[in-house]
Structures are given as C-alpha cells and as structure tokens.
Amino acid sequence: MSSDVLTLDTPLAKVVGDRTAKAMAEDLHLHVVRDLVRHYPSRYARRGEMTALTDLQVGDRVTVLGQVRKVDTRPMRNRRGSITEVTVGDGAGSMRLVFFNHKHARMVVGAWGLFAGTVSSWHGQLQFNHPDCQLLDESTDAAEWASAMLPIYPASKNVSSWVLQKSLKLVFGSPETADQLLDADPVPGDVRRRHGLMPLARAIWLKHHPETPEDVEQADHRLKWDEALVLQVTLAARRRAAALEPGIARPRRAGGLADAVDRVLPFQLTDGQREVGEALAAEIAREQPMHRLLQGEVGSGKTVVALRAMAQVVDAGGQAALLAPTEVLAAQHARGIAGLLGPLGRAGELDGDPEGTRVTLLTGSLRAAARRAALAEVADGSAGIVVGTHALLSEGVAFADLGLVVVDEQHRFGVEQRDRLRAKGTRPPHVLVMTATPIPRTVAMTVYGDLETLTLRQLPAGRGGVSSSVVPVAEKPGWLSRAWERVREEVAQGRQAYVVCPRIGDDEPAAGDQPEDADGAPDGTDPAADPATDRRPPLAVLDVAEELRAGPLAGLRVEVLHGRLTPEEKEARMRAFAAREVDVLVATTVIEVGVDVPNATVMVVMDADRFGVSQLHQLRGRVARGKHPGLCLLVSEASTSSSTGVRLAQVAATTDGFELARLDLETRREGDVLGAAQSGRRSGVKLLSLLHDEELIAEARSEAAALLETDQGLAAHPELAAAVAALNAGDRADWLERA
C-alpha cells in the first residue's frame, strides 16, 4: 500500500494489488474500499458449532470449518507426484479432502482450518478435490478464535473468503482505523439516538468482527437503518417533487355526467366505495396532482369507483384515460362503461345525449381507419373517457386535455409507464392506480413508495364467495374425475366454468408469446422451460381442451382462450362466453386480470403449483363475482406434504388477500419483490428484508419525511445527501423507475 491516505474511494488495486483487485472487480463487483467494507459476511463459522458438515449437499460451493483427523500421503500409481487424503471433522460430520502434491506444512492431525471448494461425493463420502484452505494458527491466537465467529464471505473461485478477510484487515487494521475511514455517517445523530443505533463505523467493524450473535444482530439493525433511510429519503423526495408541480383542479360539478352515472348505477354503492369515492373527489378537486394507489380485493368494485372519478373530470372539462393491462380487459371496460352510460356515452351520435361524452377504445389492434377515428376523438377532446392498453402510451397519441389517468391492475405497469402517460397532460394529470393484488405494507412503502394508499376492504353484499380445495392428483387420482363431475353439475345448473392451464400448446415460442396479453406465468418464470428440474412440461390449453372434449366434458361446449389468438378472436370468444354460448372456457392466465362473467362459478386450475400465490388468488377471483357461490379447484401433482403442497393448501384455506400477500412475499426472494433491477447492488439494499423489517421501514419512512420537512435540500445532513445522491447516480439512477 502506498502512503496515500486511505479513503472509501481508494481503488482496491492500491490495497490488495492489481491481480486480486481485478478478480474482485470481475467476480464480485468490488472496485473501491467502500465496496469492500460493505461486502458483508454471508454467515459466520463458529468452532464448536458442529452442524456445517452434515448440511452439505453435493454440488454446493462452500467454505467449512473443521479439524484435521487424519493425513495420509502416498505416491500416485500412474503418475509422478503424490496424493494426500485428509479427513476433517467438525464433531458431527466428516469429509475427505484430496490434494495432489500437497505442501501444507501445518496440515497435521488436530489442526483447525477453513476449507473451501465444491462438494463432490466419492464412495458415499463427501469430498473436496483440492480445496482452498486456510489453517488456523491455534497456538498463537487460540483464545481469540476459540470463541470468535469466523466471517465467511460470499466468495468466488478466484477470490476466497479468507482473501476477502485479509483484504479487510489491510483496510481496517483496527476499530480506530474503521472510525477514521467511516467517520461520515449518513444516519443523523439525533435519529441514531432516538432509535438506539450505533455509529456506522462501529456497525461495519462489528459486522466483520463479531464476537457473539448479538453483535451481528445489533450491527445488522444499524446497517439496515442505513439502507432504509436512504431509500425512504429518495422516495420522499420523489413524492415532494411530484407534489410541487401544480396540476389542474377538477372540482365536482352538480348536474353533470358524475350525477348521471350515480343515477344509472344498477346497484347501491358500498360504504367503502362511497368513502373512497369522496376521498378521490376531494383530491381531484385540488390543484396538487393526486397520486393514489387504490387496493381492493378482487370483485370489490374498483371499476365503478374509477368511473365516478373519471366522470368528475369530464364534468370539469377534462379527459380521463383508463389504462388496462390486456386487450381483453380494455375491451371489457370500454364495453361495460359504454353500456352503463348508454346515450350519455354516445354524445355526437344520433341517439346520443349531448350532455354526455364519448367512450373511446384505443388498442394496438385497431384497424387503421378505426384507429384514426379514435385518435381524432382523443385529440379534439370529444372522447371524455379513453380506454386502452399500452397503445395509449405510444407517440402518436395526443390528448386535448388529459386530467386523470387511471391504471387498472397495477402489477403489470411500472412507474416508468405511469410517468409516460402523465407526460401526456399539459400539466401533470391526477393519477389513480388500482390493484387487486394486495400489497404488503412494506412493499407499498418501498416499491410503491411514491404513492399513497387507499384501501377498499368491503365486498358488495350478496356475493356468494369462493371456496377452494386442492386436488392432489398424485395421492388421490379419483378426485380429478370428481372435479370434472362438479363442472358438469354446475353447467347442468346453467352456470359456466373456467379451466386454467400454465401453457398454450406444444409449439409455442419459448418466451411469452404476446407482450400484451402475457400468457403463462407472469411471476417471471417461463412456464415452458424448467431447466432447474426435469419435471414434465406444464399442461397446455390446447391439449387439455382436446382431452376434455373427448372425455370428461364430452357434450359440453368447450372453447379455448389464449394469447396466440388475434385480438378479434379473443374478443369474440370472451363475448361468446359472457353470452353463455360457451360452457367451459379453457384458458391461460389471459383471464387472470379483471375478466368479469358473474355466471361463471367453477374454476379448475391445472398444475396449480406452477402459479404464484397472488396469481392463484387473482384467478379464483374470476368465479366469485356473482350471487352464486364459487368453487376453485387447485389441481396439482405435488405431494401434500411438500412445501409446494403446503403452500397450495394455505392458498385454499384463506381468501384474506393481505395474508396471501404475505405468503407470496415469503415464497419469493427479496430481489423478485423489489424487481431485478432494484435488488442488491443497485438499490443499495443488502440486509433489509421487506418481509421481516416492516417496523424499521415504517420508522425510517417517517424519519425521512420529517427530515425533508425541515431541511428540504438536506443541507444540514451532507452525509445523508451524499448517500442519496450515490443511490441515484449513474447507472443506478433508473432502478426506481422500474417498479
């Protein structure tokens, strides 16, 4: 190391030399000292903690701690050189290490060491071939490490855990150097005092040199605060910026479309709909652009809430856009709204009411002439209510005066897309995002941190509700035929059924065949390919429909629906189903979102284990929409005692969306929740868990808001400002945009 003063920005090459630095950069994305000190141990090995060796699996790349039991060196039979077999044990398990031409002078019986490699198996015994090893010097620092926790770092083939450990020693040396190096603490002193947090330098030092599990816990708590506060300040700043840009007030006007909508509604609004409606009406009436997330169970009646808000904006002279994730859903919304408004939605036509407006559908599949006509209505303002898909975001679409954007079923739309629609207003329009996928509070506070949440908890009265059961076909093959009988019984009563499959059919292209009507498993997995396992391919719509027509459902009117059909075909089949011309619709998840056919009462989900928790919940919402009780059968080959089987049983056992959201979060990794681009390195989130740190995140959120309240530019907190800037700098800038 040169005599230069070490700072967090010192390149690692200056500390560890070019070769190691290159490997650290390439393998682990560690470039400067800051990266290294934030490269936390993934776990700690403790001498006397004898579980590690027994937990190993063939193929794991791991570091283990063990004591040498036996060393046996002999010449190799067919080649020059020697082979050394070493047996190490940790009290519970043992494993064989094999070295060629081995020269570890201290590898003697009784010595302790750390061994790293890829676990293989030889004659039934676990083995490392030529592992990296670090023998611990028991004679000199026995006392020190006997009780200590040895940090095990996420390592790579070229950068072992103890190279990292040694490098950290070069950086830190002592707690005092840590203090000097990390004297800038992004968490302000009074926040630290209020929440009992240690200084940053102490936390980082402890994280790398803990003596007890409590040390690690305390360090983690403090370091999570770091992550949460920076994240929340970023989000709070975003909220403030959005709030400062004035929009246009669209106050409610009596005697207009909004009142007319309330008159023609065929039902009484629920209390929840009324309350949420009032909150929205008040916000839309203000100049500050509204920015709301409306959560409500499947079937809770969000559409009508949105429609009332849209009508208010039309009454105030503006336009409202309703953005749906699929063409099927957009068409359904347009049809439903136009149907409800009747003449009020056909202003300008012969039978139209001149007091009304026009409901215009704009999707990617419109023919040229229809598209031109729709674009003209959008541009000249005669279309007060514009319903569409992503096509609404495209360049050629201009609004006369966009006052409100409603995004239905948020989970398919990102911040970026919301922003693109917002940019179509002359001034920022009001924004309402609606989702039926319940969002756990922590996710709402982070991923959706720029939106304030409203919740519609109540379902309209008179709903039959839905009950769910698992059909474990491997254990109870007879139950599947019983399921088809149930479908026949419902159809005999004049009702209809869905059968959902994860895949379309044999020859579909591997990656999602239709960006708009994303079929398959939108939780991010490609259902056709399952490289991790050799499971059979998931069941396909076309095959299943064929089998049902020929066998269990022979004689019923069975139709298929999936994303490979043209939009016209899809639309026609949905219409036919809604008109009861089809008994059973075999479909992919195209029907997941928002499709509304109250007469459908049974859903059979094939290969249910291939769907995510919230997806299953969404799906079964399709059969809970009328006055008849719904039934959802989750068919799976998974054993009922497997984790998958247990998860399905949990889904079947509860319809509480918020509980399911939690379950969903548990079954996914944090990175998936935050979105790939937002995980780890980019979001700065390494330790914080959306599942377990709810309280901490909430506290950090209110501290962040308070800080910005009194110190908008963070002038009094340069360290925090720098950390926020770092999060938003360079290639990290876009992570927030990709929710």
Q: Which stretch, 204-212, 253-261, 299-307, 681-689, contacts ligand ADP (CB under 6 A)?
A: 299-307
User: Could you say which of 352, 381, 460, 505 contacts ligand ADP (CB under 6 A)?
Assistant: 460
Sites for ligand ADP among residues 422-441 (CB under 6 A):
436
For residue 460, the partner it binds in Mg ion, ligand ADP, none, with Cβ less than 5 to 8 A by kind, is: ligand ADP
Assign residue 28 a region: left if phi > 0, alpha if psi is -120 to 50, beta otherwise? alpha
Closest distance between Mg ion and the C-beta of residue 263, in Å?
A: 23
E-strand ranges in 247-346 read 291-296, 319-323
Closest distance between ligand ADP and the C-beta of residue 268, in Å?
A: 6
Closest distance between ligand ADP and the C-beta of residue 269, in Å?
A: 5
Q: Is 273 in the site for ligand ADP (CB under 6 A)?
A: yes
* Residue entry with tokens 């939106």: 451
Residue 82 or 458 with smaller CB distance to ligand ADP: 458
For residue 298, the partner it binds in Mg ion, ligand ADP, none, with Cβ less than 5 to 8 A by kind, is: ligand ADP
For residue 589, the partner it binds in Mg ion, ligand ADP, none, with Cβ less than 5 to 8 A by kind, is: none
3-state SS track over 132-149: EEEEECHHHHHHHHHHCE
> Which residues pair with residue 119 across a beta bridge?
128
Distance of CA 166 to the CA centre of its chain: 37
Tell me whether residue 609 is exposed, middle or buried, using C-beta atoms within 10 angstroms of its C-beta: 0 to 12, 13 to 18, 19 or more.
buried
Residue 592 or 607 with smaller CB distance to ligand ADP: 592
Q: Is 594 in the site for Mg ion (CB under 5 A)?
A: yes
> Which residues pair with residue 383 across a beta bridge?
358
Q: Is 66 in the site for Mg ion (CB under 5 A)?
A: no
User: Could you say which of 65, 248, 260, 298 contacts ligand ADP (CB under 6 A)?
Assistant: 298
Handedness of CA 307, 450, 237, 726 (dihedral sign): negative
Contact 614, 437 (CB under 8 A): yes
Sites for ligand ADP among residues 238-267 (CB under 6 A):
267
Q: Is 625 in the site for ligand ADP (CB under 6 A)?
A: yes
Rounded CA-CA distance 407/310 in Å is: 12
Closest distance between Mg ion and the C-beta of residue 10, in Å?
A: 54
What is the size of the binding site for ligand ADP (CB under 6 A)?
A: 19
Q: Which stretch, 51-59, 216-224, 255-263, 592-600, contacts Mg ion (CB under 5 A)?
A: 592-600
Closest distance between ligand ADP and the C-beta of residue 353, in Å?
A: 22
Contact 67, 112 (CB under 8 A): yes
x/- track of binding to ligand ADP for residues 587-616 (CB under 6 A): -------x-x-x------------------
Q: Which helix (H) or strand (E) holds 435?
A: strand 430-435
Using DSSP's 3-state secondary structure scheme, residue 323 falls into: strand
Closest distance between ligand ADP and the C-beta of residue 436, in Å?
A: 5
Rounded CA-CA distance 476/478 in Å is: 5
E-strand ranges in 251-290 read none
Q: Is 300 in the site for ligand ADP (CB under 6 A)?
A: yes
Alpha helix ranges (H) inside 354-494: 368-380, 415-422, 441-446, 478-492
**Residue in 274, 628, 310 with CA at minimum distance from that of residue 458:** 274
For residue 579, the tally of other CB atoms under 10 A from its CB is 10
Residue 199 or 460 with smaller CB distance to ligand ADP: 460
* Residue entry with tokens 């009290």: 91
Handedness of CA 163, 164, 169, 170 (dihedral sign): positive
Tell me whether residue 555 is exposed, middle or buried, using C-beta atoms within 10 angstroms of its C-beta: 0 to 12, 13 to 18, 19 or more.
exposed
Greatest alpha-carbon span in the chain: 100
Q: Is 325 in the site for ligand ADP (CB under 6 A)?
A: no
> Which residues pair with residue 456 across a beta bridge?
296
User: Could you say which of 270, 295, 442, 614 contacts ligand ADP (CB under 6 A)?
Assistant: 270
In sequence order, what are the residues at sequence separation of 6 or more whose Cβ sits closer than 8 angstroms to the Cβ of residue 641? Answer: none
Residue 191 or 595 with smaller CB distance to ligand ADP: 595
Using DSSP's 3-state secondary structure scheme, residue 408 falls into: strand
Q: Which stretch, 462-470, 483-491, 591-599, 600-608, contacts Mg ion (CB under 5 A)?
A: 591-599
Q: Is 621 in the site for Mg ion (CB under 5 A)?
A: no
Provide DSSP, 590-622.
GGSSS---TTEEEEEETTGGGS-HHHHHHHHGG
Residue 594 or 630 with smaller CB distance to Mg ion: 594
Residue 364 or 460 with smaller CB distance to ligand ADP: 460
Closest distance between ligand ADP and the C-beta of residue 270, in Å?
A: 5
Q: Which stretch, 84-92, 117-125, 163-171, 291-299, contacts ligand ADP (CB under 6 A)?
A: 291-299
Q: Is 620 in the site for ligand ADP (CB under 6 A)?
A: no
Closest distance between Mg ion and the C-beta of residue 47, in Å?
A: 58
Contact 153, 165 (CB under 8 A): yes
Closest distance between ligand ADP and the C-beta of residue 305, in Å?
A: 8
Q: Which helix (H) or strand (E) holds 129?
A: strand 125-129
Closest distance between ligand ADP and the C-beta of residue 570, in Å?
A: 18
Closest distance between Mg ion and the C-beta of residue 451, in Å?
A: 18
Residue 162 or 413 with smaller CB distance to ligand ADP: 413
**Residue in 314, 302, 638, 308 with CA at minimum distance from that of residue 457:** 302
Q: Is 563 in the site for Mg ion (CB under 5 A)?
A: no
Sites for ligand ADP among residues 25-54 (CB under 6 A):
none
Using DSSP's 3-state secondary structure scheme, residue 117 falls into: strand
Residue 462 or 478 with smaller CB distance to ligand ADP: 462
User: Could you say which of 151, 188, 210, 296 contacts ligand ADP (CB under 6 A)?
Assistant: 296
What is the size of the binding site for Mg ion (CB under 5 A)?
A: 1
Binding interface with ligand ADP (CB under 6 A): 267-270, 273, 296, 298-304, 436, 460, 594, 596, 598, 625
Using CB under 5 A, list all residues that contact Mg ion.
594
